[in-house]
Structure 1
Amino acid sequence: MSTHTTPENLEKIIPQAEDFLPLLGTDYVELYVGNAKQAAYYYQTAWGFEPIAYAGLETGLKDRVSYVLQQDRIRLVLTSPLQPDGAINQHINAHGDGVKVVALWVDDATKSYEETVKRGAKSYFEPRTDSDQNGKVVTSGIHTYGETVHIFVERKNYNGVFLPGYTKWTKPYKTESTGLKYIDHMVGNVGWNEMNKWCEFYAKVMGFAQLVSFDDKDISTEYTALMSKVMSNGNGRIKFPINEPAEGRKKSQIEEYIDFYNGAGVQHMALATDNIIETVSSLKARGVDFLTVPSSYYDTVLDRVGEIDEELEPLKELGILIDRDDEGYLLQIFTKPVLDRPTMFFEIIQRKGAQSFGKGNFKALFEAIEREQEERGTL
């Protein structure tokens, strides 16, 4: 799919969703980082993203620099400040590197802004039009949990490389793709008793519906627990699970995240692949660290999930988890945090029909996270 043509298949598959916007997909995810040039090198070399666009001193920006990277339909923007003060510095001081913008691709950014603000969204910025020789882009923005924002991007009248103000950016060396296709879902961590508030926000303000709910009976170990609800727009292209901590004997991963991130924020992006064995093998070979589960997990997993197309041995070697629902099965694995603070990480997911989120793996996964927390002294 090119970056500026409307996808054909936008049929509503979640009937409960009001879906008055509607959303075409995730346009980009912007992270505020301490050193965008080096972060861009990491995502190119370790993850297989391609450099596509740049904005900075050479394009007339005085206060910040942004590198744009893409792999198939996943677009990351890495932004660093060039001045000592201002909002980007404050964000990095408070949170470390982290997601600031989850940009949503829409047909009409003005209508998206008006519809969400009249339903109670707090404005981030009013609709504005930017243009260059490649056409024009209309954007608008609203606040969501923590300091995270949604920017609506209307690019139907634009055929430039990314957005006006950006120049094409290429590198002489080519990075090999790792087979990542699109963002399957993005998870937000919010504070104690805030999950329902933010799920209501997505339902009321953005027309999402609740797909599934997990309570502390579903997601708990001997030590820690959390609650989660998954919100989706009508065509299922945008799925936002929202997590909050639940009472446990020790400090859960959500509490650890909120302590180190200093509030609510994006916990992880789940990136889809058509071949998880190849993708994870490639990422591991380039130095990406993944959580591991005990090999005993594989002794009984096929009893639980039934027959799968893949050989079990390579999944076991790589530590890939398996789960099944009524519609099929899925394969998933989680990285360790990719930042110095134990905050953001990635999930790699391959869906073989399943529409769920790996409930059967929660216990094994959370025990793996707890082992990491124990090493960090934060359990």
Structure 2
Amino acid sequence: MATDTSSLNLNKEVETAEDFLPILGTDYVELYVGNAKQAAHYYQSAWGFQPVAYAGLETGIRDRVSYVLQQDKIRLVLTSPLQKGGDINRHINEHGDGVKVVALWVDDATKSYDETIKRGAESYMEPKKIEDENGEVVLSGIHTYGETVHIFVERKNYNGPFMPGFKKWDPEYKAPETGLKYIDHMVGNVGWNEMNKWCEFYAKVMGFAQLVSFDDKDISTEYTALMSKVMSNGNGRIKFPINEPADGRKKSQIEEYIDFYNGAGVQHIAVATDNIIETVKALKARGVEFLYVPETYYDTVLDRVGEIDEDLEPLKELGILIDRDDEGYLLQLFTKPVLDRPTMFFEIIQRKGAKSFGKGNFKALFEAIEREQEMRGTL
């Protein structure tokens, strides 16, 4: 698991980012879930994640169990409590299953902690070194919106399957992968009038820069609206759009999320693929459900986005959306919520040069979400 960072291209892509906190990438995303064993089976079977590591009673941990799964550069940690009481139980009771940790891979976890704390971050975990026969990992952490936390992971001196405290998990069952490559961006939903506060947090505390902003004229339908700003670190590997509700005639998806999650949290994880048609076909065949896009969307889409490499018919059959910016175009599709509560979902994205986030699709996407909200009785 140790990685030589000397050959990584960490060129600055976002010139306005102060970038005093070099981030090499997303290390892992940890979800607190009611049943980690069954959730792990879902992400293996439906999504093609591969088993990596395990921690629990067999490894000397008494209060929780964690399964680590990976597909290319995307690493998920699924954690459940083993006893009554405690913070994980409380978190699940309050929020349902959801993202607790967005872990960031860094070269120096102590420096990352010190730099963010002195700029105003609230401490979640002071720097600590954990060791086993495979080497050492240094961890530290800070709070962000809601109960979400960032843990800084320094693993340059570690060669084990994940980190100390975990053992290799190598079950007989391994589902084929579905072509997912890396996390493109992760979206946070925050409460009314909190977007600017958290964008300022990422700018001031973590040295991020604002890439783009959308207001309620950009992201609205007849009924609902939201505001969004996209924050990015210097090398462009970490992108965090931050959404807040905006006034509309009915309850927006952001308000629905906050009502059911009971506060701010991670709304969706956008995962990249090099072939969205094959990836979505594989996911659908395994039971992953996507939002419905009306066929009329495709009547005029090429007039808006121009020529694309793909045949339109398979995109239409799968409901894949298309958008273009000055740099190229992108293909994207959104799942229905993957949890019982209408909170977290996934986006599948393939970039063909585009660096934007599908602004031209917002209206179609929102209308699709509103159809789902109507069925749930929450619009």
Report what 1:221 is aligned to.
221
Report what 1:122 is aligned to.
122
Mind listing any 5+ residue stretches in structure 1 that lack a counterpart? none
Q: Report the CA distance between 1:173 and its aligned residue.
A: 2.0
CA distance in 2, matches of 1:223, 1:32: 33
CA distance in 2, matches of 1:3, 1:290: 36
Report what 1:19 is aligned to.
19
CA distance in 2, matches of 1:5, 1:325: 35
> Share of identical aligned residues, percent?
85
- Does residue 137 in structure 1 map to residue 122 in structure 2? no
TM-score by length of structure 2 reads: 0.99
For the residue of structure 2 that corresponds to 1:183, the secondary structure is strand
For the residue of structure 1 that corresponds to 2:369, the secondary structure is helix
- Does residue 167 in structure 1 map to residue 190 in structure 2? no
CA distance in 2, matches of 1:20, 1:156: 19
CA distance in 2, matches of 1:261, 1:5: 39
User: Are the structure 2 counterparts of residues 345 and 3 from structure 1 closer, same or farther at C-alpha, using a change threshold of 3 Å?
Assistant: farther
- Does residue 358 in structure 1 map to residue 365 in structure 2? no
- Does residue 4 in structure 1 map to residue 7 in structure 2? no
Q: Report the CA distance between 1:174 and its aligned residue.
A: 2.2
CA distance in 2, matches of 1:8, 1:373: 43
Map 1:36-75 → 2, pairs under 5 A: 36-75=36-75
For the residue of structure 2 that corresponds to 1:14, the secondary structure is coil
Report what 2:105 is aligned to.
105
Q: Report the CA distance between 1:5 and its aligned residue.
A: 3.0
Report what 2:90 is aligned to.
90
Q: Report the CA distance between 1:3 and its aligned residue.
A: 5.6
CA distance in 2, matches of 1:3, 1:308: 40
Report what 1:305 is aligned to.
305
Report what 1:180 is aligned to.
180
User: Are the structure 2 counterparts of residues 92 and 243 from structure 1 closer, same or farther at C-alpha, using a change threshold of 3 Å?
Assistant: same
CA distance in 1, matches of 2:292, 2:234: 35
Q: Report the CA distance between 1:292 and its aligned residue.
A: 1.1
The one-letter amino acid of 1:71's match is Q
The one-letter amino acid of 1:202's match is Y
- The aligned length equals 378
CA distance in 1, matches of 2:242, 2:149: 15
The one-letter amino acid of 2:31's match is L
Report what 1:238 is aligned to.
238
- CA deviation digits over 1:222-281, x for unaligned, max 9? 000000000000000000000000000000000000000000000000000000000000
CA distance in 1, matches of 2:143, 2:201: 11
The one-letter amino acid of 2:267's match is Q
Report what 2:33 is aligned to.
33
Report what 1:210 is aligned to.
210
Stretches of 4+ aligned residues off by more than 6 angstroms: none
For the residue of structure 1 that corresponds to 2:184, the secondary structure is strand
CA distance in 1, matches of 2:83, 2:242: 34
Q: Report the CA distance between 1:8 and its aligned residue.
A: 1.5
CA distance in 1, matches of 2:263, 2:180: 29
CA distance in 2, matches of 1:355, 1:96: 33
Map 1:265-280 → 2, pairs under 5 A: 265-280=265-280
TM-score by length of structure 1 reads: 0.99
- CA deviation digits over 1:339-359, x for unaligned, max 9? 000000000000000000000
The one-letter amino acid of 1:110's match is T
The one-letter amino acid of 1:148's match is T
For the residue of structure 1 that corresponds to 2:366, the secondary structure is helix
